[in-house]
Structure 1
Amino acid sequence: MNRAHNFNAGPAALPAEVLEKAKEELLNFEETGMSVMELSHRSKEYDNVHNKAISLLKELLNVPDDYEVILLQGGASLQFSMIPMNFLKSEETANYILTGSWSEKALKEAKILGETKTGASSKETNYDRIPELSEIDVDPKDSYVHLTTNNTIFGTQWPSFEFDWDTPVMADMSSDILCRPIPLEKFSLIYAGAQKNLGPSGVTVVILKKSLLEKIPDDIPTLLRYDTHTKSNSLYHTPPTFGIYMLKNVLEWIQEHGGLEGMEKRNKEKADILYKAIDESDGFYKGHADKDSRSLMNVTFNLPNDELNKLFLNQAKERNMIGLNGHRSVGGCRASIYNAVSIESCKALRDFMVEFQQQHG
């Protein structure tokens, strides 16, 4: 089969081995005579899948015992509302660090529910960098600090997490979770939609400190309370069973390929291939992100003019390179190179970039 070089921003590439496994088990999962999509979510067979996915997340991320792992629906966008709904008290202020469109959307939802402030922002330079820690205004009285670890549209990523703030830190990790090891203990809550690094769309992973659950007010609707889902092992209502099955398979694939250390090594190699092509192009390709803020997951760049951008994208598509269109906020091109994107796909794109420059530079 002639598989595309899939650089889609999300839903994104899945490992071929994971897709093959799903194909083999699709009609008859573990001799049940049914697809995993047909199993009761209360069945022993599905229960094993569900608990395995949670245990793998704990293992890969080294989740401490004082954290809970839950599997939800509604995407990261629902978390924009659930976090302030559960944790922003009327007399407190939530602090949002703005590094792109998704952090803006998170802030917009929080403003509906309570008082907010912006601790730092790189909007003035079209979100081309992550603010320095010295620029960020954090008050111990803040209800929480919210940040987005990777910005798909602008191609920026927090290079590290050296902060030591005396306030809970909530992080949207939708587009870079499991791409590298992280100091989870620095965060009170992290969340991620599955459709970039974890599996197909439809599942949202949330990992939060157990102590947060004591702060949830009584007047939050049942399904929008985090403690509803921790108490029921994410089985309060019917979960997205096929998505969780695929999540389990992706997590097993990550484990088999060296865990988060293996993913980081692989992702750095892929990113270096493309950033080197940009840096050695004498300005023909211009990256959007500052070098110190470059993302391992989303490589954003422009060519000298819109005409060349369009020609590049058209010719790339003819070569079976899919999803390279940049977002309208930045224009140009974007290669999303999440965990499942192969080194070979990145080399193919690099080779095309070099050839295209030779022809049109």
Structure 2
Amino acid sequence: MARAYNFSAGPATLPEAVLRQAQAEMLDWNGVGASIVELSHRGAEFIGVAARAEADLRRLMSIPDDYAVLFLSGGATTQQALLALNFAAPGQAVDYVVTGHWSKTAIRQAGPYVDVHVAASSEAGGFRDIPPRESWSLSPGAAYVHITANETIHGVEYRQVPEVGEVPLFADFSSSIASEPIDVSRYGLIYAGAQKNLGPVGISVVIVRRDLLERAGQPRADIFTYASHAARDSMLNTPPTWNWYLLGLTVKWMLDEGGVEEFARRNAAKAALVYQAIDGSGGFYRNEVAPAVRSRMNIPFFLPDEQLTARFVSESKAAGLLALKGHKAVGGIRASLYNAMPVAGAQALVDFMRDFQQRNG
């Protein structure tokens, strides 16, 4: 079987080596006579898997000891609601910087619980840039400042950590986590759905400074309390064990491949290939994001008309290049270049783009 190059924004491509290991271990994990997904999450076997996944993620991302690492069911959207419940008092102000679709989603999830203040927004300009830090209007006494580190749909990415003073900075890193080195200590909390760079859909990672877990937050059930999950090593309830196991395999694969430094190099190379093809097309392809904040992970681009766009999607799929249709919110084409996408995949896309332009330009 020949695997295609999968440019899906999420659930996204996984490393072939990880899939093959999971396939080999599916019926009998580590010689115990059962699959890892059949073993108790409270048994020594799975506890070992979970502990290794956390240790490897800490090593991969250089996570300081004064940060807790949580592995939780669901996606990033769930965390967006839990941030407000755990870290803001009822009615307390929280600051959000809006740079695309997922920033707006984060506001909708927090809105019922806090006084959401939009500190800055690039919506008037079509989410093609990030508002300069000096234009932000931050609230005195805000519980936190929230940013979306990489906008999966609009293809906008922070290239520098914004300075927000003593208020903790919270960041949705769903589509760029572990794609390059970051200084975790610059953030109060980082969260990410795993299904782009870290593993399969159905599990999220929350990296949170331990002192923030002492905040009272708002009335909520214990199952929605980060401190309770941290106290029970993310096993307050039955976790998604198969997803956690696959996440652990993916993180180990990243370490074996050279870690975030190596993936930063690969990701820069892949993005450069695609952006050069767009910028060098004489306007046949166009990316509308300000060059200084162009995403390395998600590259949206447009063709001259909808008919050509539909043809591009159809022919690219036939050529073994999957899931290039843009999100319905913006249309066009979108190529997602997460860690598991090899440089050869980006080159195959560029070769197709050039051939398509020659035949249709």
Taking structure 2 as the reference length, what is the TM-score of the superposition? Answer: 0.98
Structure 1 residues 189 and 50: alpha-carbon distance in aligned structure 2, compared to 1, 3 A threshold: same
1:104 aligned partner = 104
Letter in 1 for 2:165: W
Structure 1 residues 250 and 98: alpha-carbon distance in aligned structure 2, compared to 1, 3 A threshold: same
1:176 aligned partner = 176
Consecutive unaligned residues in structure 2, runs of 5 or more: none
| Distance (whole Å) between structure 1 residues aligned to residue 250 and residue 9 of structure 2 | 17
2:203 aligned partner = 203
Letter in 2 for 1:178: A
| Distance (whole Å) between structure 2 residues aligned to residue 50 and residue 162 of structure 1 | 33
**Structure 1, residues 220-253: CA drift from partner, whole Å, max 9, x if none?**
2100000110100001111111101101100011
Letter in 2 for 1:325: K
Tell me if structure 1 keeps the 8 A contact 2:325–2:334: yes
2:272 aligned partner = 272
Q: SS of 2:154's equivalent?
A: coil
Structure 1 residues 282 and 34: alpha-carbon distance in aligned structure 2, compared to 1, 3 A threshold: same
1:223 aligned partner = 223
1:241 aligned partner = 241
| Distance (whole Å) between structure 2 residues aligned to residue 89 and residue 272 of structure 1 | 44
| Distance (whole Å) between structure 1 residues aligned to residue 157 and residue 178 of structure 2 | 14
| Distance (whole Å) between structure 2 residues aligned to residue 288 and residue 74 of structure 1 | 32
**Structure 1, residues 304-353: CA drift from partner, whole Å, max 9, x if none?**
11111111111101101110000122211000111001111111110010
Tell me if structure 2 keeps the 8 A contact 1:172–1:191: yes
Letter in 1 for 2:250: V
* Deviation of 1:45 (Å): 1.0
| Distance (whole Å) between structure 2 residues aligned to residue 219 and residue 98 of structure 1 | 27
2:319 aligned partner = 319
Q: SS of 2:116's equivalent?
A: strand
Count of matched residue pairs: 361
| Distance (whole Å) between structure 1 residues aligned to residue 230 and residue 237 of structure 2 | 12
Tell me if structure 2 keeps the 8 A contact 1:145–1:167: yes
Letter in 2 for 1:213: L
Q: SS of 2:207's equivalent?
A: strand
| Distance (whole Å) between structure 2 residues aligned to residue 290 and residue 356 of structure 1 | 25
Q: SS of 1:118's equivalent?
A: strand
The answer to whether 1:344 aligns with 2:344 is yes
1:127 aligned partner = 127
- Higher mean alpha-carbon deviation, 212-221 vs 114-123, is at 212-221
Letter in 1 for 2:333: C
* Deviation of 1:91 (Å): 5.1
| Distance (whole Å) between structure 2 residues aligned to residue 171 and residue 358 of structure 1 | 42
Consecutive unaligned residues in structure 1, runs of 5 or more: none
Letter in 2 for 1:34: A
The answer to whether 1:10 aligns with 2:16 is no
| Distance (whole Å) between structure 1 residues aligned to residue 323 and residue 218 of structure 2 | 45
Q: SS of 2:119's equivalent?
A: strand
Q: CA RMSD for the aligned pairs?
A: 1.1
- Percent of aligned positions with the same letter in both sequences? 40
| Distance (whole Å) between structure 1 residues aligned to residue 40 and residue 16 of structure 2 | 27
* Deviation of 1:358 (Å): 1.1
Tell me if structure 2 keeps the 8 A contact 1:70–1:234: yes
Q: SS of 2:70's equivalent?
A: strand
2:262 aligned partner = 262
Tell me if structure 1 keeps the 8 A contact 2:85–2:219: no
Tell me if structure 1 keeps the 8 A contact 2:90–2:218: no
**Structure 1, residues 133-168: CA drift from partner, whole Å, max 9, x if none?**
112222452111001001111111111214242201
Tell me if structure 1 keeps the 8 A contact 2:88–2:217: no
| Distance (whole Å) between structure 1 residues aligned to residue 262 and residue 136 of structure 2 | 32
| Distance (whole Å) between structure 2 residues aligned to residue 20 and residue 140 of structure 1 | 52
| Distance (whole Å) between structure 1 residues aligned to residue 66 and residue 289 of structure 2 | 36
- Higher mean alpha-carbon deviation, 247-256 vs 159-168, is at 159-168
Tell me if structure 1 keeps the 8 A contact 2:89–2:218: no
2:94 aligned partner = 94
The answer to whether 1:44 aligns with 2:44 is yes
| Distance (whole Å) between structure 1 residues aligned to residue 359 and residue 217 of structure 2 | 63
**Structure 1, residues 77-104: CA drift from partner, whole Å, max 9, x if none?**
1111100011111352000110111110
Structure 1 residues 275 and 11: alpha-carbon distance in aligned structure 2, compared to 1, 3 A threshold: same
